[in-house]
Amino acid sequence: MPPVTLNLIIANVAVFMLETAGMISPDGQLALWPPASGPVGSNFELWQLVTYSFLHGNAAHIFFNMFALYMFGADVERLFGSRFFAGFYFVSVFAAAICHLVVTTWMGAAPFPTVGASGGIYGVLLAYGIYFPNRQLMLLFPPIPMRARTMVIAYAVLELVLGVTGTAAGVAHFAHLGGMLGGYLMIQYRRGFRR
């Protein structure tokens, strides 16, 4: 496994173990809080735009995120190179946070903390679908084969529909879409740089 993908998985699992041991709170100052979210002001801090991505709400949350990073991150990192992949991942995380904060503030959503690596994962997923579009993947639910490009498009449409309709509350759908947007911008930057 390439080094950035491996180290991201190790770091996420280590932080989750600290959460499980009660040493880090998933709704503390490392989670992503919207501005003006506390009883006496804002719980938001700039570092939360990155640190939230290392926290997870439960074992299933971290398992599926790290499984996706393992499945898709290695190939994308080998293609991009480790340095660019690290930047790509964290730009996706950052874009996911910004998108989530903008949309939830605009919608007037209740101030809840956001956690999870999904924004970065969705950026990686987008890159996988663009660069390996014809790879056959087997979905877990439902277990049907699908081309990578088709799966990425389906996930993006599903996230948009769920986000707009407010379905599956408690999931940061617009953070997922923001991660894809950040990944797309980095891919365009890479293409321009290579030209």
In this structure, are residues 104 and 34 in contact, taking their beta carbons and an 8 Å threshold? Answer: yes
The pLDDT tens digits for 14-68 are 999 999 998 988 888 899 988 865 554 568 888 999 999 999 999 999 999 999 9
β-strand partners of 146: 137
- Tell whether pTM > 0.85: yes
**Domain at 104, CATH number:** 1.20.1540.10
Using N-to-C axis directions, what is the helix angle for 82-107 and 173-194, rounded to 10°? 140
Location of structure tokens 């997870």: 56
Range of the domain at 151: 3-194
The pLDDT tens digits for 125-159 are 999 999 999 999 887 777 888 999 999 999 899 88
Instruction: Please give the tally of structural domains in the chain.
Output: 1
Q: 147 Cβ partners below 8 Å, 6+ apart?
A: 133, 134, 135, 136, 137
